Amino acid sequence: MSAMITAEWCPVGKDNFYRKFDIYQMNWDLKFDNVCVVAAQYGGPVAVIEDRKKHNAAQGLSKPTIFIYSASGQIISTILWNSGSIIELGWSSTEELLCVQSDGIVLSYDLFGNYKHSFSMGDEAKERKVIDAKFFNSFKGTGVVVLTSSFHFYLVNNVLEPKLRRITDMISTKEPPSSWCVLSDERKSRILVAQGKSLMLLEEMSTSAQPICADINSTHTEITGIVSSHDNQCVALFTDTGKVWLGSADLRVKYCEVDTRWRSKPDDFVWCGSEAVLVLWNGCSLMLVAKNEEHTTFAINEGMSLCQEMDGVRLLSRYKHEMLQKVPTVTQEVFRINSTEPGSFLLEASRQFQKGSHRSDEYLRLVKDKLKTAVQQCNEAAGYEFSHETQKLLLKAAQFGKSFIESSTENDKFVQMCRTLRVLNAIRDYKVGLPLTLIQFRHLRTGVFLDRLVLRKQYYLAIKIAKFLLIPEEQGESRILALWACNKVGQTHLQDDVVAREIADKLGQAPGISYTEIANKAIDANRSQLALKLMDFEPCAKRQVHLLLRLNEGKAALVKAIDSGNTDLVHIVIQHLKVHMSLSDFLYYIREFPMAQALHLKYCREHNKETWKSIYEQEDDFNSLGACSIREAYEPKNSSTMEMILNSAAEYYKKGKNENYQSLCEEHARLLRQQRAMQEKLNTSNFVGLSVNGTLKKLLLMKEQKLADKLRQEYKIPDRRYYWVKIATLGEQEDWTELERFSKAKKSPIGYEPFVDICLAHGNKKGAELYVSRVCDDMKVRYYVKLNLFAEAAKVAFEQRNSQALSYVQSKCYETHPDISDKIANMTHKLIRSSTQWVFALKEHKRHKMNNV
């Protein structure tokens, strides 16, 4: 068995093997001598078009057809080309077919031949025509470079977001480049160009062409081929003297230079991994040149096409789809004849064990100490095999070895490898036709890999694989279902209802499902009714609202926004509606939504006072209108018309049957008028803006008793309040005689405590004593204490039989008047003896009042 496996190997120098093996038997009906075949990387689809040059010569101007096949040779779709003449075909990293036309338009199509989008490579390309183009993997995705007939290069780094860059000119723009390729690293893309024998690097316009030299030992006159490796680290050159030169991308390091003995320009020239290049002269020779100067030639007898992969080259021909790659190190270690690696012994041990031979034990003993390495080697090597038999062989060996060691990591790795292989085998099946190697599979993230299945409409398989690989639902199943739904939406022959129901049935409320995405697709497919139906399933209000706005369903959006409670969303809808409706329609419309109206009112209050008021007018909200007017009246610019505005406020309140506020407004307007009159009459300022009380006080201070009395009458100032003001003014003027006269004029409605207080406040203790006897009984103790008349206070308290009050007095005079304090102690003693327990005054008072209720 080992022998059979190594039979495919081809030594290239010492310890360096390359192998070529079949992936698929192809049964497409293609004649490779008059077609152009372009395969996408990562086992992607293959586009085939009749070769332009040969075709045109033979058949004139009839329109060409593009055929798209899967990697296993199944026809997927055909495109009847009816646009401009095609310069170059290529595939993007998202497996879209890209076509560069001679007028500089780049068109893209999906696998099924559906037109996706297009962009132009600029005016110059359009006018002067494109003569050459190349696609490349950039740091941003898939890029494209075109060469115009005036020998200018134009570059786009990402075909999905085309941003056209002009590349600086070559040193001479008179002659065409003899060959060129694109070098792209993590930050920028440059072009390596050969013009005759000279080489140069071109960047964006800001820098000039940068000539560089390669150390080539030949007398060549022209470099006819340049190609960069998949990782952009290495470059290969082909000269018109038939030399292949390999070196680093900056041309500073030379790996080797080999004479191929072919002078003609090769039909294809690609890197195989990053250690060797393949040179193809169609129908004649396929030569492999390795970095170590070794080379070998494969016999071929038919036309073929090469596709450069990260870890090898795929060869497409009439009957076969093959893979050429360097034999992975671990595979060499296990299978090489006379290998002494532990994996090799383990494999043999496992084989003998299955035969039931005792020699199994002997082999096992040889690797006893290195069993772990042996298991790892067999396990890993299984991953690199396409043949199920070999996979099984290696896995069995790994499993056999594993049973002698205890290592959970080995167990995990083994299970992981089994899972991976199961997936790889499933997708390599010719029906799916995705021949990924283990390295490619690991390089593509799982998400991308699932997307590729989805692109091929392999939804069921994708979901099964996502579940099998235990991918979280949001990234796996849900996402695939959503993509399925997006596709479903595009099937315009189905009824809206049917599609919506089918989608909802299948997707339900699966976590992470975004109905918005699906609905957006529906809009793209001009099915807004379907989009609306789908949006009902969307749980996220924000997305719902934004989508409804996109559909211009502002009203439905408003309902959803209000339901969500998210006021910001309501604002968004309001702003949208305002733009799309006439103001009156809008105002009329949002009446039905009190919350939206309130938010709009709040917004208008800051931004647009006119609209603010007009809404209240529309609503006949007279109270709010009144409030608006009052605020207006206080604006500085309206100081002269304040009365008028207040009267209009009163008018609004009247309409709103709010008599209280109406009279308050009218009254204030009247007050303002009178204040102005007073100012004139008394020849002072400072009246306007005062309150009724303030005005009264000012008049009293000015001794305008008559005017004060008039004011008092007109504004129905109650006696109690009048007394407060009058006493305060007299106090301020320290007019004690007048105060005394006033106190005797009539019985004070507010008692005589305020008289005491005002005297004390102005330091007139003598005056205060005048009134203290007239203070009401409840307050007497308190006021005697206030005047520091402790003996009197105690006396009153005793007479009132109030022990609480007594102790209050005592606490106040305890330090200053020890004699009185002693007396009080005496009184308290008497009181307690003569009466039952007295309760705290506050509570007593309360209870007393309660009984009255």
Partner 1 sequence: MFDGGAKTIVWDEGLIGPVSLIAPYNLLKEHEVNQMFSLSEGSISSAASRKIIFLTRALPKMMDSIAEHVHSEEQKNHRREYQIIFVPRKTTLCETRLKNRGVYGNVKGAIHEWACDFFPLENDVISMEQPLAFKELLIDEDPTCIYSAAQGLSTLQDVFGPIGKVSCQGKAAKHVFDLLKRIKLEKGAPEKMTGIDHLVILDRSIDLLSPVATQLTYEGLIDELVGINHTKITLPSEKFNNGEDPGKKTIILNSSEELFSDIRDKNFSAVGDALRKRAKTIAAEYEARHGQTMQQMRQFVARLPQMNLIKQSLAVHTTIAEMIKEITDSFPFMDSLLVEQEFMNGIDTDKIHPFIEDQIGQQVDIIKVLRLICIQSITNSGLKQKVLDYYKKEIIHVYGFEHILSLSHLEKAGLIRVQQSARPFTVLRKTLRLVVQDGSESNPTDMSYVHSVYAPLTTRLVQHLIYKPGGWRAIQDVLNSLPGPTVTEEPFCDIQTLDSSKVVVVFFVGGCTMAEISALRFLVQQEEAPVELVVATTAIINGNSFTRNFMEVLNLK
CB 254 within 8 A of CB 214: yes
Q: Which amino acid is at 512?
A: G
Q: Which positions ≥6 away from 152 have C-beta within 8 Å? A: 124, 166, 167, 169, 173
Nearer to partner 1, 535 or 725 (CB): 725
Backbone angles phi, psi at 677, to 5 degrees: -60, -45
- Closest approach, Cβ 690 to partner 1, in A, equals 8
Nearer to partner 1, 372 or 546 (CB): 546
Nearer to partner 1, 295 or 560 (CB): 560
Nearer to partner 1, 589 or 715 (CB): 715
Question: Which uninterrupted H or E stretch holds 67?
Answer: strand 65-69
Please state, in angstroms and rounded to a whole number, the distance separating the CA atoms of residues 811 and 195.
Answer: 113
Backbone angles phi, psi at 296, to 5 degrees: -150, 160
Nearer to partner 1, 367 or 599 (CB): 599
- Closest approach, Cβ 784 to partner 1, in A, equals 14
- Closest approach, Cβ 323 to partner 1, in A, equals 45
Identify the residue whose tokens are 């105690």: 794
Q: How many CB atoms lie within 10 A of CB 478?
A: 19
- Closest approach, Cβ 694 to partner 1, in A, equals 7
Nearer to partner 1, 251 or 574 (CB): 574
| DSSP label of 328 | P
Nearer to partner 1, 571 or 609 (CB): 571
Nearer to partner 1, 134 or 668 (CB): 668
- Closest approach, Cβ 198 to partner 1, in A, equals 43
- Closest approach, Cβ 472 to partner 1, in A, equals 13
- Closest approach, Cβ 447 to partner 1, in A, equals 22
The tokens describing 846, both together, are 């309360």
Is beta strand 86-91 parallel, antiparallel or unpaired with respect to 295-299? unpaired
Nearer to partner 1, 341 or 632 (CB): 632
Q: Which positions ≥6 away from 362 have C-beta within 8 Å? A: 349
Nearer to partner 1, 380 or 666 (CB): 666
CB 479 within 8 A of CB 459: no
CB 785 within 8 A of CB 812: yes
CA distances from residue 51 to 66, 67, 768 in whole angstroms, order as listed: 11, 12, 121
| DSSP label of 435 | -
Nearer to partner 1, 110 or 473 (CB): 473
- Closest approach, Cβ 480 to partner 1, in A, equals 20
Please state, in angstroms and rounded to a whole number, the distance separating the CA atoms of residues 534 and 514.
Answer: 10
CA distances from residue 345 to 173, 410, 591, 704, 712 in whole angstroms, order as listed: 63, 18, 86, 124, 119
Look at residues 116, 784, 42 and name the one whose alpha carbon lies nearest to residue 452: 42
- Closest approach, Cβ 592 to partner 1, in A, equals 15
Nearer to partner 1, 137 or 810 (CB): 810
Q: Which amino acid is at 678?
A: M
- Closest approach, Cβ 709 to partner 1, in A, equals 16
Nearer to partner 1, 211 or 689 (CB): 689
Nearer to partner 1, 308 or 624 (CB): 624
Q: How many CB atoms lie within 10 A of CB 840?
A: 9
Nearer to partner 1, 337 or 842 (CB): 842
- Closest approach, Cβ 706 to partner 1, in A, equals 20
CB 27 within 8 A of CB 70: no
- Closest approach, Cβ 759 to partner 1, in A, equals 15
- Closest approach, Cβ 568 to partner 1, in A, equals 4
- Size of the chain in residues: 853
Number of alpha helices (DSSP H) and beta strands (DSSP E) in the chain: 36, 29
Nearer to partner 1, 606 or 777 (CB): 606
Nearer to partner 1, 336 or 812 (CB): 812
Q: Which residues of 92-107 are buried (b: 16+ CB within 10 A; e: fewer)?
A: bbbbbbbbbbbbbbbb
CB 130 within 8 A of CB 101: yes
190 burial (CB, 10 Å; 0-12 / 13-18 / 19+) is buried
Question: Which uninterrupted H or E stretch holds 846?
Answer: helix 841-852
Nearer to partner 1, 73 or 754 (CB): 754
- Closest approach, Cβ 668 to partner 1, in A, equals 4
**Collapsing DSSP states into helix, strand and coil, what is residue 730?**
helix
- Closest approach, Cβ 629 to partner 1, in A, equals 11
* Helix axis angle, 371-383 to 408-428, nearest 10°: 10
The tokens describing 252, both together, are 């500073």
Half-sphere exposure of 761 (CA within 13 A, CB side): 14
Q: Which residues of 537-554 are buried (b: 16+ CB within 10 A; e: fewer)?
A: bbeebbbbbbbbbebebb
First to last CA, the chain: 112
Look at residues 253, 171, 168, 250 and name the one whose alpha carbon lies nearest to residue 211: 171
Site for partner 1, rule CB under 8 A: 511, 539-541, 563-568, 571-572, 575, 594-595, 598-599, 601-603, 606, 623, 627, 630-631, 634, 636, 639, 660-661, 664-665, 667-668, 671, 689-694, 715, 717-718, 720-721, 723-725, 750, 754, 782, 842, 845-846, 849-850, 852-853
Please state, in angstroms and rounded to a whole number, the distance separating the CA atoms of residues 124 and 130.
Answer: 9
The tokens describing 259, both together, are 């004479």
Point out which residues pair with 581 in neighbouring strands: none
The tokens describing 373, both together, are 């390495």
Identify the residue whose tokens are 């809808």: 573
- Closest approach, Cβ 503 to partner 1, in A, equals 19
- Closest approach, Cβ 540 to partner 1, in A, equals 5
- Closest approach, Cβ 566 to partner 1, in A, equals 5
Please state, in angstroms and rounded to a whole number, the distance separating the CA atoms of residues 100 and 130.
Answer: 9
Identify the residue whose tokens are 């890197």: 271
